[in-house]
Structure 1
Amino acid sequence: MLTALLLQLFGDDPRRETGVYLLLTGKRTVSVLYAGLRAHILQWLLLYPTLARADYQAAIAQLIRAGALVKTDSGLIVTDKNAQVRAAQVIQLPAAYRPWMGMTAFDQRLTLAVQAVSENGAGVRHYRPAVSDWGVQQQVRRWYQGTQPRVFADELQGLFEALPQDAGDVLAAGFIGHAFVGSAQADLATQMRRTQALAQLVTRLDEDPQRWPQTAALWGGRQPIFPRTQTQIVDLLDQGFSREAIGQRLGVRPSTVNEHLLTAAIMGQALPLEGLYPAAIKHAFDQVPDPTETNYQTLLSQVPASDFFQVRLFQILQFQGRWPGND
């Protein structure tokens, strides 16, 4: 099962196996995120945070032995397209998933909340919690104190009606309630189907949280996937501070400022380029012979007055189609 999932994360372009693993498990360095962006797999950040390194390596080795992947000096490439098609039939990647959804934590809270509402509604006060994590239990207890169980049940029914029937069926099958125990998530394919269904539900909560207030409160809204420092750095840049001044104001190293700004750009955030590129350097980047150049050293030699940060940001924005071009 794991090989079927992993094979879909590689392509014709070489991809570092370590980079793919770190993306899946949630490593958020610029190098990992930039590689994910270039490979069109950035969406799968944090998709599988519990994946053991040994299991990942064993699955990759199996794919190499089977001839589905081959090693090159730059990384792994897919050599068997038919195997990749078959892999997608075995495990479907959850297309609705986004890293900010906080899927693992919300799945636990939702599972326990459904059980609590069901058991309490039947007058049962003592039962074995479906989720053993004490922190999750406390979160659901606080949520329950401020909720109206009947309203929550109606909201959940409405949400299920708004979902495709197969998504509702997958979610319902994983719940535990009074006189009902759903099927266990026995394999990775089932887990990915549940992730897809839960992501479809979260999408509706995100689109209209006022329509589903009790369930939206249980979800908690979009989860920050980067530290507060990054928001502070971007805010200060928007206010007109230079990179150097931001570092001094926040007491962080210039490399930290650069890393947070590049990460923000990779994740699609708009940055005021006038504060990052003097006019002459901006013009020089507009004139480079090949704006799609992937080797930063080549671009650095073509715009020698620039630095690594400016080159990498140029590459990110060019790849995303967000570089403003020649004025």
Structure 2
Amino acid sequence: MLTALLLQLFGDDPRRETGVYLLLTGKRTVSVLYAGMRAHILQWLLLYPTLARTDYQAAIAQLIRAGVLAKTDSGLILTDKNAQVRAAQAIQLPDAYRPWMGLTAFDQRLTLAVQAVSENGAGVHHYRPAVSDWGVQQQVRRWYKQGIQPHTFADELQSLFAALPQAAGDVLAAGFIGHEFVGSGQGDLATQMRRTQALAQLVTLLDENTQKWPQTAALWGGRQAIFPRTQTQIVDLLDQGFSREAIGQRLRVRPSTVNEHLLTAAIMGQALPLEGLFPAGVKGAFDQVPDAAETNYQTILTQVPASDFFQVRLFQILQFQGRWPENDRS
């Protein structure tokens, strides 16, 4: 099953196998995110944080031996599109998933909360928790002490499930443990991906209308920050008109740290005030660079000698995303 999942993350363009692994498990360096963006697989950041590197490497080696992936000097390429189609039929990527959903932790809290409400509603106060993690238990205990009423939470879940596609509700229900009910467990990887899809669909509903399902929304906890607070501070200061150098001095961080956070924000789609990052002359020179996303950054540095690596990479990111505001070319 793992090979079927991984095969869908490669294509005609070379992709570094290490980069794909780091993206799946949640490594958030600029290089990993930039490669993920270029390969159109950035959505799968943090999709499989528990994936063991040895298992990943073994699956990649199996795909290479099978001849469906081939090594090049620049990375691995897909050699059999039919095999990829079959892989997508064997295991479906959860297209509703987004990295900010925090599904791994929410799944544990939801599973334990359903069990606690079910058992307590039946008058049972001594049972074996479905989730052994002490931290999760404390989180659910605090949530429960906020005045959760079993019947109210049950009604809320029923309303949520009614808003979900039936298949999603069935997948989630099958994984729950309650009073005199034991679900089917996690199952194989295909089942886990179906549960991830169902959870993502549920969280999408919560994110769109937290007031409609307040107890479940409180259990979820809202969108999870996937980048440090420093990044938000840097972007905010840039919006206020501070230069990169001034931001570094104000926050006492290195210039490279400022640059990394700004590039990461851009990769993730955040708008940046370009007038504070590109002097007019430099901006005009970049406007004349053709196909920047496909050009080596060193070549662009030669074409725009007044620029630096940060400006070149940001230009490439925005042009690739279709967000670079080009002036008319002369």
Same fold (TM over 0.5): yes
Contact 1:4–1:88 under 8 Å retained in 2: yes
Distance 2:192 2:295 in 1: 36
Contact 1:293–1:299 under 8 Å retained in 2: no
Structure 2 partner of 1:234: 235
Work out whether 1:84 is the aligned partner of 2:84.
yes
Contact 1:175–1:182 under 8 Å retained in 2: yes
Alignment of 1:259-278 (within 5 A): 259-278=260-279
SS where residue 71 of structure 2 aligns?
strand
Distance 1:140 1:103 in 2: 15
After TM superposition, give the deviation of residue 235 of structure 1 in Å: 0.4
SS where residue 141 of structure 2 aligns?
helix
Q: Residue by residue, what CA displacement relative to the aligned partner does 1:186-233 show, whole Å, maximum 9, x if unpaired?
A: 210000000000000000000000111000000000000000000000
Distance 1:307 1:49 in 2: 34
Distance 1:290 1:121 in 2: 63
Distance 2:187 2:290 in 1: 54
Q: What is the aligned-residue identity percentage?
A: 89
Distance 1:295 1:57 in 2: 29
Structure 2 partner of 1:141: 141
Alignment of 1:8-19 (within 5 A): 8-19=8-19
Structure 2 partner of 1:210: 211
SS where residue 217 of structure 2 aligns?
helix
Distance 1:111 1:287 in 2: 55
What amino acid sits opposite 2:37 in the alignment?
A: L
What amino acid sits opposite 2:268 in the alignment?
A: M
Structure 2 partner of 1:296: 297
Alignment of 1:173-252 (within 5 A): 173-252=174-253
What is the TM-score with the length of structure 1 in the denominator? 0.99
Q: Give the stretch that moved more between structures: 283-292 or 70-79.
A: 283-292
Gaps of 5+ in 2: none
Task: Figure out how many residues of one structure are paired with residues of the other and give that number.
Answer: 327
Alignment of 1:1-327 (within 5 A): 1-146=1-146, 147-326=148-327
SS where residue 32 of structure 1 aligns?
helix
What amino acid sits opposite 1:257 in the alignment?
A: V
Contact 1:185–1:191 under 8 Å retained in 2: yes
Distance 2:79 2:288 in 1: 37
SS where residue 77 of structure 1 aligns?
strand
After TM superposition, give the deviation of residue 298 of structure 1 in Å: 1.1
Distance 2:290 2:231 in 1: 33
SS where residue 71 of structure 1 aligns?
strand
What is the TM-score with the length of structure 2 in the denominator? 0.98
Distance 1:5 1:159 in 2: 29
Distance 1:158 1:48 in 2: 29
After TM superposition, give the deviation of residue 287 of structure 1 in Å: 1.3
Distance 1:35 1:160 in 2: 37
After TM superposition, give the deviation of residue 288 of structure 1 in Å: 1.5
SS where residue 151 of structure 1 aligns?
helix
SS where residue 290 of structure 2 aligns?
coil
CA RMSD of aligned residues (A): 0.7
Distance 2:320 2:149 in 1: 48
Contact 2:293–2:317 under 8 Å retained in 1: no
After TM superposition, give the deviation of residue 184 of structure 1 in Å: 1.6
What amino acid sits opposite 1:133 in the alignment?
A: D
Gaps of 5+ in 1: none
Distance 1:280 1:105 in 2: 48
